[in-house]
Structure 1
Amino acid sequence: MKRSMQLVVGALIVSALQIGFLFSVIQGRATILRDGAEVMLKVEPVDPRDLLRGDYVRLGYEISSVPRTLFEPPLADADAAKGTPVLVRLAPGDDGLWRPVGARLAETQASAMPDGQVEIAGTIDTAFAAIDQVRLSYGIERFYLPEGEGREIERDMRERPFMILAAIGEGGTAQIKAFFDGKTRLYEEPLY
């Protein structure tokens, strides 16, 4: 009897830990969507698609390619390895779209950030010393759509501007909050 009671208690503890972990992941995303700083980013179309994962569009951004000159301190070739964490400082432009105004390796100390700016966390994909550009990804390069709508939107993205509204939480973690065709809001992510 004592052994079976220990097994039941152990199973309950494991179940509670699993549920707690899932809740923390979902709550973390919802917190960013609810409380994160909102930035509007222009979308650039990217091919291809993965038919096994459902309808989605792959997204690239103007902020996905950052000049090396924005890095403070200057980015050394040895620091530009694939997967290196970085923080890119964004500021709003006159057109309402946010653009990079500074960048740093995540491990370096941040300088004082002016009001109205925000940092987004990313990782280095590639660094091209010859063209003075660093290609970055931010974890928001995919947007899932209702079934059957992905191809049409991918085609339309080549003809007119699309944007996303991203919510950026503390530490720079970004989530896509809404997807726009010009000024028309096509889709909005629910909190849960």
Structure 2
Amino acid sequence: MNRTWRVIGAALLVAIVQIGFLAALIEGRASILRDGREVLLKVEPVDPRDLLRGDYVRLGYEITTLDWATIATGREPLRRGTAIMVRLAPGEDGLWRAVGARLADQPAVLADDDTVEIAGLVDSDLGGSEMLRATYGIERFYLPEGEGRPIERDLSVRPFRMLVAIGHDGKAQIKAFFDGSERLFDEALY
């Protein structure tokens, strides 16, 4: 009988740990959407193909391509997957743009309260040029069934925007998808 209670207790403990882990993941994402700093980014078209995962658009952003001059590392080579923090500032048109970057392990130097840092990864060096590509984990947006193809087709001809919430640690979550000033889709909190 004593062994049975230990097995039941161990099973309950494992279940509680698993549920706690999942709840922490969900709450982490929800807290960024609820409390993160909102920035509006210009969307650029990228050609997606994935028939098994549902309708989505694969997105690029104006902040995806960075000039070496904005990165506070000199010209030392950065490997793919290197963690960086990109400083964003609002433009007069309401869109946020990259104004600086640093390696993630370097200390933050924010100029003022009007800037925010977004966490990214170096995606690739663009062939020895003065440009570098970065990803931020917000490059896919899933849509209701049947909505993906029309938006994908129009990405290069209409001014799509993405409202992104950025947490205090720089992690970003997509909050809403805009066609010009019209809010097309909102991301659910949970």
TM-score if structure 2 supplies the norm length? 0.97
Q: Deviations over 1:39-58 (max 9, x none)?
A: 00000010122111111000
Q: Deviations over 1:79-134 (max 9, x none)?
A: x1010000000000000000000000101112243111000000000113632011
Q: Deviations over 1:33-83 (max 9, x none)?
A: 010000000000101221111110000000000000001132411xx1010
Q: Deviations over 1:19-39 (max 9, x none)?
A: 000000000000000100000
Q: SS where residue 172 of structure 1 aligns? A: coil
Contact 2:110/2:116, CA 8 A, preserved across alignment: no
Distance 2:63 2:27 in 1: 27
Distance 2:75 2:110 in 1: 19
Alignment partner, residue 56 of structure 1:
56
**Match 2:139 to one of 138, 141, 149:** 141
Q: Please tell me the root mean square deviation across aligned C-alpha atoms, in Å.
A: 1.0
Distance 1:86 1:73 in 2: 10
Unpaired segments ≥5 residues, structure 2:
none
Unpaired segments ≥5 residues, structure 1:
none
Q: SS where residue 38 of structure 1 aligns? A: strand
User: Structure 1 residue runs of 4+, over 6 Å off?
Assistant: none
Distance 1:51 1:112 in 2: 42
Alignment partner, residue 152 of structure 2:
154
Q: SS where residue 101 of structure 1 aligns? A: strand
Q: Which one-letter code corresponds to 1:69 in the other structure? A: A
Is the aligned partner of 1:19 residue 2:19? yes
Q: SS where residue 53 of structure 1 aligns? A: coil
Alignment partner, residue 116 of structure 1:
114
Q: SS where residue 128 of structure 2 aligns? A: helix
**Match 1:101 to one of 90, 99, 102:** 99
Gap change, CA 1:107 and 1:129, over 3 Å in 2:
farther
Distance 1:103 1:127 in 2: 15
Alignment partner, residue 67 of structure 1:
67
| Greater per-residue helix proportion | 1
Q: Which one-letter code corresponds to 1:183 in the other structure? A: S
For residues 74-85 of structure 1, the aligned pairs below 5 Å read 74-77=74-77, 80-85=78-83
Distance 1:58 1:110 in 2: 30
Percent of aligned positions that are identical: 59
Contact 2:40/2:161, CA 8 A, preserved across alignment: yes
Gap change, CA 1:104 and 1:75, over 3 Å in 2:
farther
